[in-house]
A and B are shown apart, each in its own frame.
Chain A
Amino acid sequence: RKEVEQDPGPFNVPEGATVAFNCTYSNSASQSFFWYRQDCRKEPKLLMSVYSSGNEDGRFTAQLNRASQYISLLIRDSKLSDSATYLCVVPQESGGYNKLIFGAGTRLAVHP
């Protein structure tokens, strides 16, 4: 089993739609989680952090289910500018240092 698994998509949705992505992780000891956004041919940038059961920031909601070891990202009222790849990221402790394990990403395409 991969350490971090995501549905690659693409998710094609119209403007205004609500879309949700799931991510599963294998390390049950992980305490915090992240969603990064990566635009086409650009670098990843932090979108949201998830430390407890969930986090909400405007149209974006991240939820964590520790028992099932999955994280979700919900985007409400999708905008054209939301089109990007969303990377699920799980920290992993290694020799006293927290390294990040990246999922392969879920691609979202929002159309008019």
Chain B
Amino acid sequence: NAGVTQTPKFRVLKTGQSMTLLCAQDMNHEYMYWYRQDPGMGLRLIHYSVGEGTTAKGEVPDGYNVSRLKKQNFLLGLESAAPSQTSVYFCASSSRTSVFNNEQFFGPGTRLTVL
């Protein structure tokens, strides 16, 4: 089991460029999430998905779009990158949650720098 994988691991973009981050999980999890982590701040939820074909906005969705065409994949897109989007991006997944089971499994992260 690879768990949660992310592609790419590192990327440098120029302002205005676009890119897609790919997340894949092999645990058959229903829920998937995209977070960003900035120094001195907790992980902040960008978008999430509760199942194939569904997506929803999280805490900081502006400037990002997502798609979940297949259950195992969750894509995060930046249409026009800005320096404020320089961050470490983590994807996570979890099984159908109850109030007592919220363990999320994280990918290794993507370090994105926007110049």
Contacts and interface: CB of A to CB of B under 8 A. Distances in A.
B77 interface: no
B45 A44 contact: no
A99 B58 contact: yes
Contacts of B97: 97-98
Contacts of A42: 108-109
Contacts of A93: 99
A39 B50 CA distance: 28
B47 to A, nearest CB: 11
Interface stretch (B13-21, B35-43, B62-70, B79-87): B35-43
Contacts of A8: 40
A102 B43 contact: yes
Given A43-B90, A51-B100, A102 B108 contact: no
Contacts of A41: 109
Task: Tell me if B's interface is mostly helix, strand, loop or mixed.
Answer: loop
B41 A104 contact: yes
Contacts, number: 56
Interface residues on B, range: 20 to 34
B90 A104 contact: no
Interface in A86-100: 87, 89, 91, 93, 95, 97-100
Interface string B3-31: 00000000000000000000000000001
A98 B45 CA distance: 12
A45 interface: yes
Contacts of B42: 4, 87, 101-105
A97 B58 CA distance: 12
Interface of A: 4, 8, 31-32, 34, 41-46, 49, 51, 87, 89, 91, 93, 95, 97-105
11 contacts: A4-B42, A8-B40, A31-B100, A41-B109, A43-B90, A43-B109, A51-B100, A89-B102, A100-B104, A101-B42, A102-B35
Interface of B: 31, 35, 40-45, 48, 50, 56, 58, 90, 97-100, 102-104, 106-109
Across chains A and B, which 6 residue pairs bring their CB atoms closest together, nearest first?
A102-B42, A43-B106, A102-B43, A104-B42, A46-B103, A91-B102
